[in-house]
């Protein structure tokens, strides 16, 4: 199947140009194809922008074990609608992805159920070093330096030293200091209202754990990625780190702060917690100056019934994969960032950091994972229109301008005219270990 995308404004690696793109099967055949190119289908993209498909490197799709909240089928339909063509999923499912068998089983599930491309992290425990040393079908190792479910908490210095010293895969971590979190919780008697969550999981907990993890990475010369940076302190600290260290922001730490608890309550309860408006500004500055290189969602759905439980019974996490490109495009329209920056944060940078083969750029020979967006389209986010299985969004009722209108996965249209094409399946992401 050859597809000619004509008259698009294309976000290329080094420029934004008005060119035709020719797809030949799952690959990009030409980034400057003539109008006369032979094609089985022609898409007129006049007035629209073409971006590389988004790569969300931090999601929780809940399968197996927690599929009443989310599953691979619903989550990847939401991805397709939102312009996300590839995802990397975290290991805190049930069972956790901490063995090669569990990793293989997840990959097999994904082959049957995913409408976009897929990859899964291997989770670190205090005693699975041999697994971390031998896993290959994975982007890297995920460590929870801070509370988590099951056996995924790795907080002892000895265990952390061995993981950083004796493994070769890139490492990422949830950085909140467990000792600090527990002390804060004891001082507040566990917390009584959701605003206490940001006092329990405070700035100090974040910066202590981030400093600790970066110290491990730099001493052992190990590539390390800081997930969901939430504080100005972390952004300032990360400006002085080595090239081994990369970091990312998430929409909830860009767009929500503690003043929003009054309006949204436990719906925006997250780990790491929402911080202040000053922290929002600092995280944005970190993105704009290159200190933070990635925007990922940390998509972590729960049912509304679960989220509306009184704090602290309410779980942390919110859905975002369906709307995060639109949130960023809305900022492009408001002049806060450029469309090229959005493409870098959501595609080129995660592809580079996790060594994804042939992804993240509109370039000849690369995978035809693409999203066509209309920067002039305005739409209201409504719970009843969400494709994620949990069926709600913390941005319900907000009007955004700039939306995806068509998505290709490996050259196949998976979303167009407001509908997901359920017959399309993604493929397992491959990794270039030579980088």
Plot region of 411 (φ>0 → left; ψ -120 to 50 → alpha; else → beta): left
DSSP state string for 232-278: HHHHHHHTTS-TTEEEEE-HHHHH--GGGHHHHGGGG--SSPP--HH
Whether omega for the bond prior to residue 428 falls within 30 degrees of 0, making it cis, is: no
The torsion angles phi and psi of 299, rounded to 5 degrees, stand at -50, 115
Burial class (CB in 10 A: 0-12, 13-18, 19+), 352: middle
Q: Which of 56, 57, 196, 298 is catalytic?
A: 298
Q: Which residues contact 421 (CB under 8 A, 6 or more apart)?
A: 80, 115, 412, 413, 414, 415
Alpha-carbon span 116 to 59, nearest angstrom: 13
- Positive or negative, the Cα torsion across 351, 353, 356, 357? positive
SS3 content of the chain, % helix, strand, coil (to 5): 35, 25, 45
Q: Is 298 a catalytic residue?
A: yes
How far, in whole angstroms, is CA 334 from its chain's centroid? 23
Residues catalogued as catalytic:
298
């Amino acid at each position: 199947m050859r597809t000619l995308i004509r008259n698009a404004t294309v976000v290329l690696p080094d420029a934004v140009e008005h060119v035709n793109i020719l797809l030949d099967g799952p690959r990009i055949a030409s980034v400057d194809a003539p109008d006369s190119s032979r094609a089985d289908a022609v898409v007129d993209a006049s007035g629209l922008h073409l971006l590389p498909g988004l790569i969300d490197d931090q999601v929780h799709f809940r399968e197996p074990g927690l599929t009443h909240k989310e599953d691979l089928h619903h989550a990847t339909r939401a991805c397709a609608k939102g312009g996300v063509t590839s995802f990397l999923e975290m290991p805190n499912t049930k069972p956790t992805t901490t063995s090669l068998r569990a990793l293989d089983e997840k990959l097999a599930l994904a082959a049957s159920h995913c409408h976009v491309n897929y990859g899964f992290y291997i989770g670190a425990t205090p005693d699975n070093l041999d697994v971390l040393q031998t896993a290959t079908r994975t982007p890297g190792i995920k460590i929870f330096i801070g509370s988590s479910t099951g056996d995924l908490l790795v907080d002892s210095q000895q265990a952390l030293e061995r993981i950083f010293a004796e493994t070769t895969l890139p490492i990422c971590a949830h950085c909140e200091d467990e000792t600090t979190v527990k002390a804060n919780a004891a001082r507040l008697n566990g917390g009584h209202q959701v605003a206490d969550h940001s006092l329990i999981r405070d700035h100090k907990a974040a910066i202590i754990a981030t400093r600790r993890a970066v110290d491990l990475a730099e001493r052992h010369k190990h590539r390390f990625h800081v997930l969901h940076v939430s504080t100005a302190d972390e952004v300032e600290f990360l400006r002085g780190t080595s090239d081994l260290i990369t970091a990312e922001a998430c929409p909830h730490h860009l767009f929500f702060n503690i003043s929003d608890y009054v309006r949204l309550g436990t719906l925006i309860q997250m780990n790491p917690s929402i911080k202040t408006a000053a922290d929002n500004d600092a995280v944005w500055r970190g993105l704009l100056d290159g200190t933070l290189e990635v925007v990922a969602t940390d998509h972590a759905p729960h049912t509304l019934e679960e989220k509306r439980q009184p704090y602290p019974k309410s779980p942390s996490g919110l859905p975002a994969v369906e709307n995060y490109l639109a949130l960023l495009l809305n900022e492009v329209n408001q002049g806060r960032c450029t469309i090229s920056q959005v493409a870098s944060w959501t595609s080129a940078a995660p592809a580079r950091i996790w060594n994804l083969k042939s992804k993240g750029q509109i370039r000849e020979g690369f995978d035809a994972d693409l999203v066509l967006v209309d920067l002039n389209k305005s739409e209201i986010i409504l719970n009843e229109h969400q494709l994620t299985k949990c069926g709600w969004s913390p941005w319900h009722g907000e009007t955004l301008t700039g939306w995806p209108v068509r998505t290709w996965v490996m050259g196949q249209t998976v979303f167009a005219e407001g509908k997901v094409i359920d017959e399309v399946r993604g493929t397992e992401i491959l990794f270039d270990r030579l980088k």
